Structure 1
């Protein structure tokens, strides 16, 4: 009886242990956070059949990829900020609903334009999952007064990496069974499961907070959000197709960014508080590392893959098997090191292995490279992906203002997608005449420079020494 009474006393009004992380939240958190990576990766195997179905060349089907990146880059910090203001439940459910609508729209799309619109909706709909998860981890640490389990943050990173790995394989299976439309239809059951889990398990906003929400509705910085979106769209469009004739896009981006800065410095409740952000050099350094890490990661993933087929002469299946070792290496490193508190050490090792991978591509990858060497390069390239993503995520968790954790987590994803766009532009530039060995070596030299910059940013960030790496710790 004494034990039962003690357990009752430890439970809050919602039936949760007052001093323990509510593990009922884990399933909706993980499901919401993988909606974006599954839609980012599954499209890779859908582009060719979609192009055949609508008679669209690669230059047009590429917008199916870009549309999701653009929408997500803009939507992540916007939705994250709304989660900070209104709590995660409503935004999570609204996002899941949008994913379901987008899935149905894509499944029935009569032309490419409608498919692009569906991808835009998917981009915005999948924006809520990750900021909501970060918000919940932080709020649980506040509620319990204890560190949230490190395994929860690790699970978020590993789940996203895992789904990114199996996304193309899953897409291939779905296309074999139901055609390319099945890759869009997949979002319907995923959205349904998210709605069910979110409705049953995510905490409701308390009445007192809801009344505060009504006052905050008038204070949402719509102008700041609009200027942020304009600057980001113009910048990403320019990076996706850098050319002198497109310099007007860069000019628009600069003008919108300047307007955004003026607006945020004057706004009573800014969308992104530039005063706080500008004074938080460690957080800015983490965003810079995220951009640099994803630049290297995406450039290796797509550039190395293309070279394996065009430069080394492997079949698509053979190239996929080589890349499987990269993915397994990344997942293994995340699983083994995820519970370790160290952040700076992971980033330093991640930077050094990035450098090693770039140097191997530069000096060891040739048209006659043996398979064992290609597998070794893949394993080395997977190590930093398993270290850097998780370490940057944990760093942002500790460096961000707790009141703006949703927006801060969203910005982390935005900078990551900026890195993806830079990588895409680098691949297009260095492999413009084909993914031959010379082009790969030029790309590798670029990656060595980016990895060296990543290492310098990490070594210069002394604040990393003060982070214990344990969620919820000071």
Structure 2
């Protein structure tokens, strides 16, 4: 499956980028595609495949949706913290070793999850999985930017499109794959799938991701003592408190919010004084377009994952479909998103994609209000088809925006922060599912969830319309010049 997906995406790159397939000397090094794609999809496949596993897992351990929601939140809690941290390490030390270490941890998490005797151990395996899948996406964005500098191509649109297509393909096909695996080997098979994926990632990463050249290692050497460990610790502490609060905002744990604010204050104070800050607040604070992109990522993920988890659970408990049937219902989402991304990948205009995506989300959320326990199958498929349009547009536009807006020297951590904000949205979506469904994913809960999603979609549209930087077309880089490399510059 991995090689077939890579071949398809290679053909996409040849269509989108004039000049066809080129060697490493005069175009993007296509040998990097396989590890980049595989590393980037490890987190989305585990984010989406669990959606059809929640009901069987709950039945196996006697846990309601409010408890199985922690299987979602545990992954995002670990990933939200780990993505920018690992991304910063990739910026400093290169992608190879971190990619391999993360992929190996993913395989370990698969073994632990497959053998879990109870819900607590299963949640712990999801935490391991979150940390293990942190390196793939920042490493891919780092490699894309490195290749852009090496080749002098300012915007490798074909590669960025292929990365977005791979990510959302796996994210959407995950439920269908999960339903198939559950039918074959039960819900444990959805955890065991990480073992062969990790093995493939280790093989491809070791074979194809280049080691940092000795000359560059010497020039860019950063001792461990230069790491902003206090900043990373305060960032992690604040995010943990915030996410735990968001998981149960009505539970009376207001002290968590106070602790999160205190950690945020300490983090800001530290970063303004650190010699090599974990997150350069001065640069980030002066880059309002990038901050707006992060805000849109949060809102977009709230809608996408509230639908992915909420709708999938409702089709099983409210509509009465089996896990396999529920996964198959989401296939039009996969097909539509792929077609939309492929057709629009050539176009650099980000604002148009986001506006159409916002309207598509609003329409899809409104259609959810028309569904009932006896709704015909074609109505279920129609909702999925409509949501596939923003699914194909928003992810591509957000990723391209970060590529153009982020500082080149912090591409890994900036890409990690994009995922962090997205997973904050996924945490909010998970909390909303638990709040609106309670003990059972019924139609009344689905309609309340749809109203919540509709409000978030309208806010996404408002933020996009109000962002003046998008009206100039492709956002300007914070590093406006990407010098064309000469022989002495190349590693």
Q: State the TM-score, normalized to the length of structure 1.
A: 0.88
Q: 2: CA distance between counterparts of 1:340 and 1:374?
A: 31
Residues 59/127 of structure 1: CA separation in 2 closer, same or farther (3 Å cut): same
**Mapping of 1:6-405 within 5 angstroms?**
17-50=24-57, 59-212=66-219, 214-309=221-316, 319-362=326-369, 364-366=370-372, 369-405=375-411
Structure 1 equivalent of residue 426 of structure 2: 420
Q: 2: CA distance between counterparts of 1:444 and 1:422?
A: 14
Deviations 1:410-461 (A, max 9, x none): 0100111111111222233333475444443333332222112111111121
Residues 402/54 of structure 1: CA separation in 2 closer, same or farther (3 Å cut): same
Residue 276 (structure 1) shift: 0.5
Count of aligned positions: 459
Residue 310 (structure 1) shift: 5.0
RMSD: 2.7
Q: State the TM-score, normalized to the length of structure 2.
A: 0.86
Q: 2: CA distance between counterparts of 1:181 and 1:309?
A: 19
Q: 2: CA distance between counterparts of 1:327 and 1:184?
A: 21
Residues 296/62 of structure 1: CA separation in 2 closer, same or farther (3 Å cut): closer
Residues 212/51 of structure 1: CA separation in 2 closer, same or farther (3 Å cut): farther
| Equivalent residues of 1:341, 1:469 under 8 A apart | no
Residue 387 (structure 1) shift: 0.6
Q: 2: CA distance between counterparts of 1:48 and 1:371?
A: 21
Residues 450/64 of structure 1: CA separation in 2 closer, same or farther (3 Å cut): closer
SS at match of 2:253: helix
**Mapping of 1:423-462 within 5 angstroms?**
423-432=429-438, 435-462=441-468
The unaligned stretches of length 5 or more in structure 2 are: 1-21, 482-491
Q: 2: CA distance between counterparts of 1:320 and 1:215?
A: 46
Deviations 1:323-359 (A, max 9, x none): 3323322222122212322211000111111122223
Deviations 1:80-112 (A, max 9, x none): 010011111111111112122222333444544
Deviates more, 1:350-359 or 1:254-263: 350-359
Residues 191/310 of structure 1: CA separation in 2 closer, same or farther (3 Å cut): closer
Residues 308/228 of structure 1: CA separation in 2 closer, same or farther (3 Å cut): same
Deviations 1:193-246 (A, max 9, x none): 212211221121122332355444221111111111111111111111112421
| Equivalent residues of 2:65, 2:438 under 8 A apart | no
Residue 361 (structure 1) shift: 2.9
